Structure 1
Amino acid sequence: MHAQDGHVYLTSFVYSVLEGFILLLRAIYLAILFSPCITMAPFVDSLGVEFRKRWLHIVHLTLEKAGPAFVKWGQWAATRPDLFPRDLCSELAKLHANAPAHSFSFTKRTIERAFGGKLSEIFEKFDEKPVASGSVAQVHQATLKYRYPGQKIKPIVVAVKVRHPGVGEAIRRDFMIINFVAKISRFIPTLKWLRLDESVQQFGVFMISQVDLSREAAHLSRFIYNFRRWKHVSFPKPLYPLVHPSVLVETYEQGESVLHYVEELEGHEQIKSALAQIGTHALLKMLFGILYSLQLFFSLFFHISAGNSWF
């Protein structure tokens, strides 16, 4: 028994040392990568508009090279002009463009491992080239042969979202480093204005939820139910049981980026006003849904607590 405990302890110790070494190497790499941004930061407001534009572009490129956690943080920060300068948000919005894609062989292997069948048994047609690639996953267009594991249906076009290799571990490690740096930034005057410690706390919850694609499927199902009577708002429908933490098969929905409407519809105030109205109503619907869920949770919590004489 003691020998077994000693073996477990030794294995755990070796793993911790190895993990610490990997984190150290990663931290050194990131320190070198981010050094131009940090070095230029004190002079951003004093050396003119062109210098600031150059610095913003370097920030964008640095986050892009730093990996999925940093790209996701940049994408999230781009939507928060209440926390960051507007020109920084505009530059970071470019991170929503296509990220590097992984190989088709990895996609095929991941799908077959997730669903326990050959790719050709699940899909009538599968485009090897991804339609789009993000920081966490990439999307392929395909035609579903039948609803796994065997019920025949009419072939339908679907979107197949496949998580990138090693992205979960990479994000976990990088977030540990981000959290550490964010805490240190509070004591550096040139970085204090970025309010990194405040944003990282909010970002952490968002980031973790992005890695598990089965959780995304659950969120989509909730949105579909909440907006079931809305004709102007639609969501991709997860096709159960083709849902897995690393692979999500959903209906293929046509759409345009919001940025397209913002940039291309200059002068079409009536259309922009209609889109803004739909977006505002949809946002309020989501917020009311969250508030209603919280109300149900607390009502149930206090009811159970009172029933068990906790209060």
Structure 2
Amino acid sequence: MARAERKFSEAEGPSSMSSVYPIAQDRFSYTKKTIERAFGRSLNEIFDKFEEEPIASGSVAQVHRAVLRYQYLQQKVKPIDVAVKVRHPGVGDSIRRDFIIMKCVAKLSKFIPNLSWLRLDESLQQFAVFMMSQVDLAREAAHLSRFIYNFRRWKDVSFPKPLYPLVHPAVLVETFEPGQSVLYYVDELQGYEWIKSDLAHIGIHALLKMLLVDNFIHADMHPGNILVRVSNSMSSQNPPLRSRPHVIFLDVGMTAELSKRDRVNLLEFFKAIALRDGRTAAECTLKLSRKQCCPDPRAFIEEVDKSFISWNSAEGNNVHPGECMHQLLEYVRRHKVNIDGNVTTVMVTTLVLEGWQRKLDPEYDAMSALQRLLFKVDWVESLFYTMEGVMAP
């Protein structure tokens, strides 16, 4: 096959991987130039080994496996296996163009009665911030460092470590994390219920820590971004010899932080869901937007409350709390209740994680864990405010 002669620039917005990289040689040529331009050194000066074929590719970047030269970091250590994340050519400009088009459509929706309540322009603006943050790989490195610090005392959870100074908006070098996708444990692995139960426990508690303690949430926590490592003791059927699985969270470019007001309202919302208090859950939902345009808030509250009353009956005891939350969001749509984008991101992330957790261990009650942790948060915050008041000048 003849090599296609084509130069790539940031102005070229790819519609697909094939249009960006006509053949593998050009793809690697772009990758090599991007890395060398980012760090001011040749590829061979930085890496002992570099795999030309990417091991993964997403909408923003592709990932190559490599071995880092220890001389580059001026440390006499063994060569380090690394993952090299390289941004696709023109992806930033492509996303900007897409959002310009969508913004025009969103503005037109204001004049359509059945769509105006959605406030698409505001949602689009919030979504644009999320997407553009993923384009800057240096920001992702900062997110990784923050997550590593937040989970520094956790033995069961880790994140790839960014290897400064090999961090650039277009290239990120981080530790290579071996592991298997959590989907294997969700859909394929037969038996080993203790591993699945541990994974469900670790995943939910990691999310609750992000939400309740750190207020810094991984907002793209789908199974493709979660790896699992299990030691050789997996084959042991002797409980004392079993070690807990280890969870690695990847691709932290998209994160969410809530304002104090949103955080309080969302925590009260989750607490109401856990307690199956429909009226409070509905009232909290109405507070999850600064510009609430629900045409009939009272009707929304009454319908949600009626559903929760039935779920609290003997017949409703088998209804999973996650299903309660799904049904509540259906009422949100039906009654045209607004929820701000940042809060929606956290809620969707919670539902995604709760969904695969339920597959791993149907007996594990995530909402009970949430209820216990919310009680602890209330106690800790009360103590904090008391100490703050006593120590204030």
1:226 equivalent in structure 2: 150
Residue of structure 2 equivalent to 1:125: 49
Structure 2: any 5+ residue segments left out of the alignment? 1-10, 18-22, 217-256, 261-393
Residue 178 to residue 268, structure 1, CA distance change in 2 (3 Å): farther
Question: What amino acid is the match of 1:180?
Answer: C
TM-score for the superposition, normalised by structure 2: 0.45
Distance 1:113 1:255 in 2: 31
**1:140 and 2:69 aligned:** no
Amino acid at match of 2:89: P
The answer to whether 1:289 aligns with 2:236 is no
In the TM superposition, what whole-angstrom CA distance separates every residue of 1:171-223 from its partner, at most 9, and x where no partner exists? 11211212222333455589789985564243222111100000000000000
Alpha-carbon distance change, 293 to 206 in structure 1, aligned in 2, over 3 angstroms? closer
Give the equivalent residue in structure 2 for 1:216. 140
CA drift at 1:254 = 1.7
Alpha-carbon separation, structure 1, partners of 2:122 and 2:198? 34
Q: In angstroms, what is the RMSD of aligned CA positions? A: 3.4
Name the CA shift for 1:257/1:178 in 2 (closer, same or farther; >3 Å). Answer: farther
**For residues 66-81 of structure 1, what are the structure 2 equivalents within 5 Å?**
none
8 Å contact kept, 1:220–1:235: yes
Q: Whole-Å Cα distance in 2 between the matches of residues 265 and 189 of structure 1?
A: 49
Cα distance change, pair 149–269 in 1 and its aligned pair in 2 (3 A): closer
Q: Quick check: 1:148–1:242 contact (8 Å CA) kept in 2? A: no
Cα distance in 1 for residues equivalent to 2:169 and 2:47: 19
CA distance in 1, matches of 2:107, 2:196: 41
Distance in structure 2 (CA, Å) of the matches to 1:191 and 1:67: 31
Q: Which has the higher helix share?
A: 1
Counting only pairs closer than 5 Å after superposition, residues 108-119 of structure 1 correspond to structure 2 as 108-119=32-43
Whole-angstrom distance in 1 between the partners of 2:141 and 2:125: 24
- Report the CA distance between 1:147 and its aligned residue: 5.4
Cα displacement (A) at 1:266: 7.1
Paired AA for residue 274 in structure 1: D
Structure 2: distance between partners of 1:151 and 1:109: 26
Letter in 1 for 2:58: G
Post-superposition Cα deviations, 1:19-71, rounded to whole Å, max 9, x if no partner, equal: xxx9xxx9xxxxxxxxxxxxxxxxxxxxxxxxxxxxxxxxxxxxxx9569xxx
Partner secondary structure for residue 215 of structure 1: helix
- Distance, in Å, in 1 between the alignment partners of 2:151 and 2:54 is 29
Partner of 1:252: 176
2:184 partner amino acid: H
> What is aligned with 1:166?
90
Partner Cα separation in structure 2 for residue 193 and residue 270 of structure 1: 47
Q: Report the secondary structure of 2:95's partner residue.
A: helix
User: d(CA) in 2 for partners of 1:186 and 1:272?
Assistant: 47
Shift in CA distance, 268/149, structure 1 to aligned 2, threshold 3 Å: closer
Correspondence for 1:82:
none
Shift of 1:272: 3.4
Q: 1:66 to 1:199 in 2, by over 3 A?
A: farther
Aligned length: 202
C-alpha spacing 1:198/1:242, structure 2 compared with 1 (3 Å):
same
CA 1:187–1:230 in 2, change beyond 3 Å: closer, same or farther? same
Which of 262-271 and 283-292 deviates more? 262-271
Structure 1 219/166 Cα, relative in aligned 2: closer, same or farther at 3 Å? same
**Which aligned runs of 4 or more in structure 1 are off by greater than 6 angstroms?**
189-195, 291-295
2: distance between equivalents of 1:190 and 1:234? Answer: 45
Unaligned runs of 5+ in 1: 1-21, 27-64, 69-99, 296-311
1:271 positional shift: 3.8
Taking the TM superposition and a 5 Å limit, the aligned residue runs for 1:64-103 are: 103=27
Which residue pairs with 1:207 in the alignment?
A: 131
Residue 89 of structure 1 corresponds to none
- CA offset at residue 169 of structure 1? 1.2
Question: Which residue of structure 2 aligns with residue 263 of structure 1?
Answer: 187
Partner of 2:248: none
Deviations 1:228-257 (A, max 9, x none): 111111100000000000000000002333
Q: Does 1:241 align with 2:161?
A: no
Partner Cα separation in structure 1 for residue 193 and residue 127 of structure 2: 34
User: Could you tell me which residue of structure 1 aligns to residue 307 of structure 2?
Assistant: none
Secondary structure of 2:180's partner? coil
Structure 2 SS opposite 1:253: coil
Q: What SS does structure 1 have at the residue aligned with 2:156?
A: coil
Q: Match for 2:146: what amino acid?
A: R
Same amino acid, percent of matched pairs: 70
